Chain A
Amino acid sequence: MSHVPVPVLRRMQDEPLAVPDADRRHLAGCARCQDARRAAEADAAFAARVLGPPPADPDTSAEWQKLVARLRAPVPLPAGSRRPARDAARAPRRLPRRLAASLSTGTAVTAGVLLVGAAAAATLTTVYAPTHVAPVPVTGSDLSALQSITNLAQALTGGLSSRGPTTLPFGQVTWHAAGQARKVASLAEAQAQTGLTRLVPAQLPQGIGAVRGIIVQPQVTATLKFNANAGHGVGGSTLTVRGGPGVLVQFGGQPGQPAPGTLVVATMRRPVATSTGATANQLEDFLLDQPGVPPLLAQEIRMIGQSALPVPVPSGMTQENVTVGGSPAVLLHGPAGAASGVVWESGDGVVHAVAGLVTSADILNVARQLS
């Protein structure tokens, strides 16, 4: 007779009656199978020890009452107000700060944009219009979990590049741009095409030279049409997130400098999300119920606040909360202090970002000229 399969040897320890008699007879006379069984038993015993003893019996009745209270609790929420965290009694959680190298920042930001847009749209029933920025430490592990189960990040990345419809497990995303991103010849032209002003500072940091390029990005619209069977009442509804237009101005270094400086100034209309055909909490519940959406990421997004625009904080970057022109701003700088960036939203619904191979002080000096 052949040797006893390893899984059977393992099960023999837990459920001996489920193991065929023939296997038991073979085991009694086979030294090799006995060795394999001892190894399986040792690993199982080790796992049992380190996974710890079971907890004391919980008070099921008390926990049931807590659950009923939670299920019945209506939360009156005037549109436009900040929404409370799902369970205000629980302490806010911080996301781990490691960003997996396997995921690009672009993918992280792209996946986050739709999730944030969906959560925010749910919050305000129909409209998301952030008024300030807030940092979000985006983690690779969270996004890996998201990607592995729903393929959302991958699908979205593909969708961005193709601008065509992309099928998700629960619907279809269509990206539409009012035009291709393109270089323009002057700041005046960029202003005329986008209506955006204050695109560059009057005074540049030392080492920063002339404008090297000006790029205009027309408005981009992402439309997520949920499948009819999507559940939670969102089936057939549509979520639309609009971003832009925007302008990106890139500066070069000054001739003769040993390490040419680089600075970019980005200006864009804040993203706005609208939802039709589904209520606020239907959308939120659906989003949170997706098995691929890591709960911590969803909770962090919700806790950030419904009027905030999350700013992803990549691993290795230090983040500080500062103000620019009286508005909250997120200042990021690298470990050596050689690279910095700041993002804020001014009171007129315009999001600004300044980044470059300059110090934090220089970045803030540029930012405050734009406010």
Chain B
Amino acid sequence: MEASYVTRTGPPPGATFSAFERFFRENYATVVRIAHGVTGDAQAAQDVAQDVFVSAFRRFPDPDGAPEAAGWVRAAAAHTSLNAIRGERRRDRRQQECAAAPPPDSPEESVLAAESRAEVRRALQRLPRRSAAVLVLRHSGLSYAEVAEAMNVSVGHVGTMLRRAESALRKELQK
């Protein structure tokens, strides 16, 4: 067995960071918003975003020549964060945060408290994966066209998926 030293994540030969930095700055906030919609935790969302962009760099070292890259990182943000909320550690932390929150004093806060963040995450896990993804993509502020690009569906189909997903989410939380 030979001794070897490996570089885990270095850029491919000839690749530069400049094009990727532009891509990162244009898309980072969106990716964090999507991940936050799932995790409900700012730090966890930034962790997900870092992982997403590491993968994106490997796949699209020159994103200027890859028009699909933006849609890819958005979809990756949704799926990566949906996978991440299966971790018990984060879920437990969120539940503790919910338990420690002060009593709600407005109807809006009451709804949020009743449908605690942990319950929302569990409900997202119970939804079909594509339904959960379309929910968090749209409610992170993406347009229908952007959601369609990320989900690889027609713009018209986004409305269908979204309507079903929102109805299903409400039913899950009001069981």
Binding site for B on A (CB under 8 A): 5-11, 14-15, 18, 40, 43-44, 46-52, 54-58, 60, 63-64, 66-68, 70-80, 87, 90-91, 93-96, 124-127, 139, 141-142, 145, 148, 232, 279-281, 285, 288-289, 291, 294-296
Give the top 3 A-B pairs by smallest Cβ distance, nearest first: A7-B159, A43-B166, A93-B87
CB-contacts of B128-175 with A (<8 A): 129, 135-136, 138-141, 143-144, 156-160, 162-163, 165-167, 169-170, 173
Contact A74 B36 (CB under 8 A): no
Interface on chain B toward A: helix, strand, loop, or mixed SS?
A: helix
What are 23 inter-chain pairs, A to B, with CB distance below 8 A? A6-B160, A10-B163, A10-B166, A46-B173, A47-B165, A51-B139, A54-B141, A55-B42, A58-B32, A63-B49, A64-B24, A74-B8, A75-B7, A79-B4, A95-B88, A125-B4, A281-B6, A289-B55, A294-B86, A295-B80, A296-B83, A296-B86, A296-B87
The answer to whether B45 has its CB under 8 Å from any CB of chain A is yes
Residues of chain A within 8 A of B80, CB atoms compared: 295
Residues of chain A within 8 A of B157, CB atoms compared: 7
Residues of chain B within 8 A of A44, CB atoms compared: 162, 166
Residues of chain A within 8 A of B163, CB atoms compared: 6-7, 9-10, 40, 43
Q: In the complex, A220→B32 CA distance in Å?
A: 46
Residues of chain B within 8 A of A46, CB atoms compared: 111, 166, 169-170, 173
Contact A295 B37 (CB under 8 A): no
Select from chain B the residue with minimum beta-carbon distance to A92: B89
Could you say which of A52, A74, A294 has the most chain B C-beta atoms within 10 Å of its C-beta?
A52
Give me 10 other A-B pairs in contact (C-beta within 8 A), A40-B163, A68-B17, A73-B9 excluded: A7-B157, A7-B159, A11-B159, A52-B40, A58-B28, A63-B28, A67-B50, A71-B10, A78-B4, A126-B2
Contact count band on B: 35 or more
Give the shortest distance, in Å, between A27 (CB) and chain B (any CB): 15
Contact B10 A72 (CB under 8 A): yes
Q: In the complex, A44→B45 CA distance in Å?
A: 23
Residues of chain A within 8 A of B59, CB atoms compared: 289
Contact B88 A60 (CB under 8 A): no
Residue-wise, chain B 74-114 has the 8 Å CB interface mask toward A (1 for contact) of 00000110011011111000000000000000001001100
Select from chain A the residue with minimum beta-carbon distance to B79: A291
Contact B111 A50 (CB under 8 A): yes
Residues of chain B within 8 A of A66, CB atoms compared: 50
Binding site for A on B (CB under 8 A): 1-11, 17, 21, 24-25, 28-29, 32-33, 36-37, 40, 42, 45-47, 49-51, 53-55, 57-59, 79-80, 83-84, 86-90, 108, 111-112, 115, 117, 120, 125, 129, 135-136, 138-141, 143-144, 156-160, 162-163, 165-167, 169-170, 173
Give the shortest distance, in Å, between A40 (CB) and chain B (any CB): 6
Q: In the complex, A95→B84 CA distance in Å?
A: 10
Residues of chain A within 8 A of B89, CB atoms compared: 91, 93-94
Residues of chain B within 8 A of A127, CB atoms compared: 1
Q: In the complex, A7→B134 CA distance in Å?
A: 14
Interchain CB contact (< 8 A) of B46 among A54, A58, A75 = A58
Interchain CB contact (< 8 A) of B112 among A11, A50, A139 = A50
Contact B117 A52 (CB under 8 A): yes
Interchain CB contact (< 8 A) of A49 among B40, B42, B112 = B112
Contact A294 B83 (CB under 8 A): yes
Contact A77 B112 (CB under 8 A): no
Contact B5 A295 (CB under 8 A): no
Residues of chain B within 8 A of A11, CB atoms compared: 144, 158-159
Contact B33 A55 (CB under 8 A): yes
Contact B143 A76 (CB under 8 A): no
Give the shortest distance, in Å, between B57 (CB) and chain A (any CB): 6
Select from chain B the residue with minimum beta-carbon distance to A232: B58
